Amino acid sequence: MQFFIDTADVAEIRDLAATGLVDGVTTNPSLVAKSGRDFFEVLAEICDLVPGPVSAEVTATEHRAMLAEGRRLARVADNVVIKVPLTPEGLKACRAFTDEGTKVNVTLCFSPAQALLAAKAGARYISPFIGRLDDISVDGLQLIADVVEIYGAYPAIGTEVLVASVRHPLHVVESAKLGAHVATIPPAVLRAMFKHPLTDKGLAAFLDDWAKTGQKILSDDDAAEPERRSA
Ligand code: G3P
């Protein structure tokens, strides 16, 4: 499963990209607004930091205007993926972008029927929003199961299931069990995935016991060596 980061916060992306675990990034107009920064500057910085797919969303609602916006966004970097909403106009734009070789992420998917339409429109990614379904007492993970099953029945479908609106690590784990291709994960959720109280407790005990031996694996000089090399 690929991990994308769902944020427009460049500092967060830089920090998490350093873990080597980030395959791509997704943004949306709300996340850009939250960053308080210029969209084009932020997008260029993200594309520089992460070589994988970076989704940038159009804000026009008519397909010709979406195409104009998307073409402008695609000029920012080769790894930009254009995000369009799951509307008839969005899917018209999706088909046109796909035909001209630009990858599209179709967003705001809440039903298997919508996911089928996006696949027929040639989307590279479909983004089912599972957290927002859970919020209205509809099982978001069931949507992932349905879409994975439907796409799996047609090997010609090249659309990848990109699980979005992820709220906690269990969403990621259960989506992985269902075979979803990608999860776009908020930074706090990715950090939470590292955590287990027994890991912290176990590490503390190992370090305590090691300190009692009075030994060191590296001499102080050797330990300083990597810092000297990077200076
Ligand atoms: O990027 C789209 C999606 O992940 C938004 O999530 O938390 O606003 O429902 P959320």
Question: What is residue 106's predicted lDDT score, i.e. its pLDDT?
Answer: 98
Hey, whose CA ends up nearest to atom 6 of ligand 1? 165
Distance (Å) from CA 189 to ligand 1 centroid = 12
pLDDT score for 221:
87
Closest residue by Cα to atom 8, ligand 1, is 165
What value does the mean pLDDT take over residues 163-176? Answer: 98
pLDDT value of position 228: 65
More confident residue, 43 or 231: 43
Q: What is the pLDDT of residue 224?
A: 83
- pTM value? 0.94
The residues annotated with a catalytic role in the active site are 83
> Strand, coil or helix: what is 166?
coil
Quickly tell me which residue has 């734009």 as its tokens. 93
Could you tell me the distance, in angstroms and rounded to a whole number, from the CA of residue 201 to the centre of ligand 1? 33
Ligand 1: which residue has its CA nearest to atom 3?
Answer: 165
CATH 3.20.20.70 fits 2-194, yes or no: yes
Over residues 177-209, the pLDDT tens digits come to: 999 999 999 999 999 999 999 999 999 999 999
**φ, ψ (nearest 5 deg) of residue 161:** -85, 115
Q: Kindly give the distance from the C-alpha atom of residue 168 to the centroid of ligand 1, in angstroms, as a whole number.
A: 12
Q: Whose CA is nearest to atom 7 of ligand 1?
A: 165
Q: Where are the domains of the chain?
A: 2-194, 199-230
pLDDT higher than threshold 90 for residue 226 = no
**Helix, strand, coil percentages in the chain from 3-state DSSP, rounded to 5:** 55, 15, 30
**Ligand 1 environment, Cβ below 6 A:** 6, 26, 28, 129, 131-132, 164-165, 184
pLDDT of residue 229: 64
Mutate to test the pocket of ligand 1, among 4, 5, 6 (most ligand atoms within 8 A of CB): 6
Phi, psi of 74 (to 5 degrees): -65, -20
Could you report the per-residue pLDDT of 74-131, keeping only the tens digit for each?
999 999 999 999 999 999 999 999 999 999 999 999 999 999 999 999 999 999 999 9
What DSSP letter does each residue of 24-41 carry, written as one string? EEE--HHHHHHHTS-HHH
Distance from residue 127's CA to the centre of ligand 1 (Å)? 9
